[in-house]
Structure 1
C-alpha cells in the first residue's frame, strides 16, 4: 500500500471514530512513525510503506481512534515554533495559549526583567517567552514533579538556558526569605473548567490530568487565588496575566479590580473569545479579592 492510500484509509477510519482533524491526525502519526515531515509525505506519496512501520502506524491509529490524544501518542507538540515533549502528566499546549505569550511579550518589552510562570506543565509558556527574551530570568513552577522534570527536559532539548523550573504549588516554590522573590510579570494558565462541564467528557480532555483542568467555584477558584496572592510577588508596576475560559472574562476582571490592580483589561483570542485578563500592581491598592 502506498503512503497516499494508507493516509486516505486512516483518515476515513479516524473520521468515523469522531476525530475533528482526521486527515491531519493520520499524517502526523505516519510522519512520526517514519521520522519524516509532512512535506516529505506529500512529495513521496507513491512510495510503499514497509511492513514494520505499517504495523506501528496501525497500532497508533487504533489508539487515536479510541480517543488518545495525538500529542501523547507521538510524545510531542509544537508551540510557538518550539517542539516540546509531552506526557499524560501535563496539559497539551494549545494555540489559544499563544495569546498569553503574545501579551507577556508586549508587557515585557524591556531587555531585562523577571517572569514567573505558575503551573508551567510542559514549560510551554515559560520557554516561549524565554526564547524571545534571552535577557530575562524566567521561573516556572508546578506542583507535579513529573511536570517539572518534563519542563526541564524541554529546556535542555531546546538549549534555552535563562529559565529555571521548580516544584511547588503556585508560589510555594519561591524564595520567601527576607523580601522574597519579585517579578515584573507573572503569568499563568491555571485550571479554569467547572467540574460539571460536559467538555471534560469529550476529545483530548478525557485523557488529560483533571488536576490541571478543573477548579472549584465554577472554574474560578484558582484564578481568584492567584489574583490575590500574586500582589506579594510583583514589583511595583508589575503585571499579572491570566488565561481563562471564554465566559470568565468579567469575573476575572472583577477579581483583579477588587484586589486593587490597575489598568484591568481582557484580551481576545483569534476566535474573538475572551482569553487573557490582566492587571497592573498598583502600590497602595486595596488588596483582597472576591470569594
Structure 2
C-alpha cells in the first residue's frame, strides 16, 4: 500500500513535508532527499520549517519517498553520489560508486609518479579516473564498453573540468600504448550470489556487477593481459570480492607479477590487490 510523504494537492510547509518523509525513511535518508532534491542545506531544512513548497517540489519529494520505499537506491533517485570530494552524476546505467573503491584511488596515487600515464578499466561514472586526474598531475585514460556509461562519465568530466581521455573498449580491445599504472574495479560478483537479489544491487546494472559463474572471469582476463600494456615495473591495481583474496593473488603470481600487496577496507575486509610487472 502506498504511503504518501506529503499532500500533493497544494503547497505545504517544508517542516510538515520533511517530518512525514522522516517518519517513513528515517532522519538521514529524509534529509538527504530534501537537501538533494530541493536544493537546500541541512540548516535550511531545520530552521526554515515554515517555508512553503511549490506543488512541483511537493510532488518531487513525494515521488522520491515512494521510490525509496520500493527499495530504489537514493543515488539513482537524486542522480548524485559523493566520491571522495566529488559530487558525481549517476544513473542506472552505471554502478553506484562505493566508499571502499576510494582505496583504489589511494593506491594508484601512491604508486604512480607525477606525469604518469594511468588506465582506468571499466570506468562507469568516471569516479576513479576523475578523482585521479583532479588529485595529481596524471595522464588518465578511462575505458568502458557501454556508450551510456561513457556519456555519464563525460558529463562528470565536464562538470569537474577533468582532463580524461575516454575510450569505448571491451577491456583492452581498443586500448593503445603503455601505462605506468592500470586500475580496475571490474565486475566480480558470482552469478549465483544471493546478494544480487538484495538492497541496492537489485537496481544496479547486472553487467557491472557479475563477473561470470565464479565472479573471477573478468579479473582473470584483466590480470592475464595487463603486462602487455604496462611499462616496465608498472603496477596493476584491482578491487576484488570479500572472499577472493587467495584466488586473485594466485592470478597475479601465475602471470609473473612481483611485489604483490593488498589492502583492507574500512570493515577490515580484503578489498584491493596490486602487483608490479617484471621489468623487461
Name the TM-score, length of structure 2 as normaliser. 0.91
Structure-1 separation of matches of 2:75 and 2:65: 13
DSSP 3-state at the match of 2:190: coil
Matched, 1:193 2:189: yes
C-alpha RMSD of matched pairs (Å):
1.5
Structure-2 separation of matches of 1:165 and 1:242: 19
Q: What is the deviation of 1:7?
A: 2.8
Residue deviations 1:196-237, cap 9 Å, x none?
A: 111111111101110000012421111111111101000011
Residue deviations 1:39-71, cap 9 Å, x none?
A: 332333454434331121101110111111111
Q: What is the deviation of 1:120?
A: 0.2
Name the TM-score, length of structure 1 as normaliser. 0.88
User: Following superposition of structure 1 onto structure 2, how do residues 199-238 of structure 1 map, counting pairs within 5 Å?
Assistant: 199-238=195-234
Unaligned runs of 5+ in 2: 1-11
Structure-2 separation of matches of 1:45 and 1:158: 33
Q: What is the deviation of 1:149?
A: 1.4
DSSP 3-state at the match of 1:92: coil
User: Following superposition of structure 1 onto structure 2, how do residues 84-233 of structure 1 map, counting pairs within 5 Å?
Assistant: 84-108=88-112, 110-133=113-136, 135-161=137-163, 163-175=164-176, 181-233=177-229
Structure-2 separation of matches of 1:262 and 1:43: 57
Partner of 1:272: 268
User: Following superposition of structure 1 onto structure 2, how do residues 45-60 of structure 1 map, counting pairs within 5 Å?
Assistant: 45-60=49-64
DSSP 3-state at the match of 1:253: helix
Partner of 1:23: 27
Structure-1 separation of matches of 2:150 and 2:49: 40
Residue deviations 1:167-204, cap 9 Å, x none?
A: 111011212xxxxx100010000000011111111111
Structure-1 separation of matches of 2:15 and 2:241: 39
Q: What is the deviation of 1:5?
A: 4.0
Structure-2 separation of matches of 1:147 and 1:129: 18
Partner of 1:37: 41
Q: What is the deviation of 1:24?
A: 2.2
Q: Would the alpha carbon gap of residues 34 and 173 (structure 1) be closer, same or farther in structure 2, given more than 3 Å must change?
A: same
